[in-house]
Structure 1
């Protein structure tokens, strides 16, 4: 019975950390809400890369400034939890985000979870990226890993990257590796 309580508690903690990345008592960095989008130059409201933007690669919809590996840490009562976020080039409907999450589980032991998520909409020039719900691709223990809600990924003026739950909510700020 105690093992079940510990497993549920650890899973809930990891779930809270992964869905938005910040616990209410954790040490994650919450920032301002992502900037709102402006209308497209044609006024049609259609999304897509701006052909005049040098930050948009021809191989996919993700602006080059987002590409690469980013890292963040979250301090909790159990210890330090790490996040490694990799964004790669892709088109709408393709996996462009991989997240590795690991750290100490509540009640002892460690967890390691790997998630992927698709680009759900083509961004306006420069972003933000609209990312669909995450899918668990591996986990140890698997019971500690839960899929996450859709998120929005934005570049901050200082060069860091922020991943936030769509529609508001918790966020986590990453630095480029």
Structure 2
């Protein structure tokens, strides 16, 4: 099961857990209420039927696989820096972890970082307009499926991008309180 916690402000290796002292974990309900991030747990060995239902329900029409490791990712060090730069997207970011592990960090409405540890079977949906970033953990490997509605949108908008419509909509949802 996925875990989420508020991060410390340490500048140590981004691949470490970065817990506060004492650690401050969030439940899945708290994660959703503070960020709008949705979570689904699928069987990493037998997920086709459940995943097909979710794709149909949410309108995902495009998918591909990404593998992040030194051996599989061209310009590995540069890509990791790009993934870890604080940014947002105009569309949801959907990831289903097949193998390995990593961290998605999201900013809550109070500008605090929340770290979400993902591993096989975890599917997360990061809403459009939320500032976030990704990093591998110390295992340095993850393989995941990526989903999109229509054609894939790969464009990250690095912070500050507060004037974008998706950011304004996200903030309006956050202020009202996220609803399923």
For the superposition of Structure 1 and Structure 2, which TM-score range results when normalised by the shorter chain? under 0.3
Greater percentage in helix:
2
TM, length-normalised to structure 1: 0.28
Structure ranking higher on relative contact order (CA contacts 8 Å, 6+ apart): 2
- TM-score, normalised to structure 2, is 0.27
